[in-house]
Amino acid sequence: MASLKNIQPYTYRSFEIQTQYLKKKLTQIGVNITKDEAARITFLSRRKYDNYDHFPLGESFFVRLLTWFTKNFKKNERDIALEVIKNIKYIDQYELKELTKSTFKNIINKIVIDVDITIDGDWYTYLEARNNMLYNELRRTIFVACADDIRFDLFRRYAMRTHPKPFIKDNFVEYYKINKTSLDDLPDFNRVMLIDQLSGSGTTMLRKECEKWTGKLSRFLNIWEEKIEDKTIYYCPYILSDVSNNNLISKIPIWKKDEGIKNDINILPTCNISISPCISNTEGTSIDEKRPVSKMCKKYYNKFIEDEHIKKGGGAQYGYGGAGLTLIFQSNCPNNSLPLLWHAYNEWYPLFPRVGHHRG
């Protein structure tokens, strides 16, 4: 790696040299990779992957990639493992910042659509009435953080900067304040927006366990039940997987019926993500267990150790809750992604080491 460390300026020539070097090293260990594929990985390494928060100081994605291939997989399996790398979706801090802003804009659009405005007059009269309506509706909206990694401070500052009049600080409730003592500080409201970073399988949000409903949504309603009898609730994840969407759509009506819940509960994602193409069927709607990557996940799952939380989600052979993702955030790798990428049990070498922090 000494030769690469000397290539400091990010020029076309340095990029070309690094691409050639990556292709050469991967070919030497039995990975069949094209020049275009090597160029794409090189570009994303420099622009994104090298900045992953949990890489040891000074370590690059390139070094970890070579070790991940050679330490974990047999030579004839490395082309299959390459398919996982080619399908990684990586969200860096800038993109997460934009997701945060887009989520608030998405909420604004939803409020405008839901509240009917019928005004006789010109466009100016309509816009004035629309802005007054939006002011009143935002003033009566509570935003609640469902996790500690959603950049909620940025969400709050962006909302209060772009719409300074309707909001006070109590319109925004941090995840650690979701308790009965926080209810007395709330302004009058008619809707609650539950803000989350990722809903990968839906099981952390809502699931049935030992014949009882639990999860973030169930616990939230149990704590806030006195304040939200007739309020509309929106679950607003920055990213919602297709697996989670299907699970929540099927579970929420059953949960509401079992618990006698009258609230209108809606799912309002900013982005949707499908099962990774490397393990999905042609339509991308379910996991195809005949795919080579799927078989590899099954083969090496015996190295994985299921903790209590993973067992609640039905295992993690294809990611927690069967989400089947190859998604990485710069701050951490979600456990909904394939464990081939992140787990470190039984001497498995993780490409993107994960720090667990589940409370669900």
Q: Examine residue 187 and state whether it is found in any structural domain, yes or no.
A: yes
* DSSP state letters, 71-96: HHS-GGGHHHHHHHHHT-EEE-HHHH
Q: Which domain holds residue 293?
A: 2-87+276-342
Q: Examine residue 140 and state whether it is found in any structural domain, yes or no.
A: yes
292, 83 in Cβ contact below 8 A?
Answer: yes
Distance CA 162, CA 75 (A): 54
Predicted local distance difference test score (pLDDT) of residue 2? 42
pTM: 0.92
Q: Examine residue 161 and state whether it is found in any structural domain, yes or no.
A: yes
* Count of domains observed in the chain: 2
Distance CA 109, CA 166 (A): 16
Predicted local distance difference test score (pLDDT) of residue 169? 86
State whether the Cα torsion 299-55-174-238 is positive or negative: negative
Q: How do the pLDDT tens digits run along the chain, 360 residues long?
A: 444 444 455 788 889 999 999 999 999 999 999 999 999 999 999 999 999 999 999 899 999 999 999 999 999 999 999 999 999 999 999 999 999 999 999 999 999 888 876 666 777 887 888 888 899 999 999 999 998 889 999 999 999 999 998 998 889 998 766 677 777 778 899 999 999 999 999 999 999 988 999 999 999 998 888 888 889 999 999 999 999 999 999 999 999 999 999 999 999 999 999 999 999 999 989 999 999 999 999 999 999 999 988 998 889 999 999 999 999 999 999 999 999 999 999 999 999 999 987 555
Q: Examine residue 360 and state whether it is found in any structural domain, yes or no.
A: no
Predicted local distance difference test score (pLDDT) of residue 5? 47
Helix (H, G, I), strand (E, B) or coil at 63: helix
- Identify the CATH number of the domain in which residue 171 sits: 3.40.50
Q: How many CB atoms lie within 10 A of CB 333?
A: 27
Q: Are residues 231 and 251 in the same domain?
A: yes
Q: Are residues 232 and 146 in the same domain?
A: yes
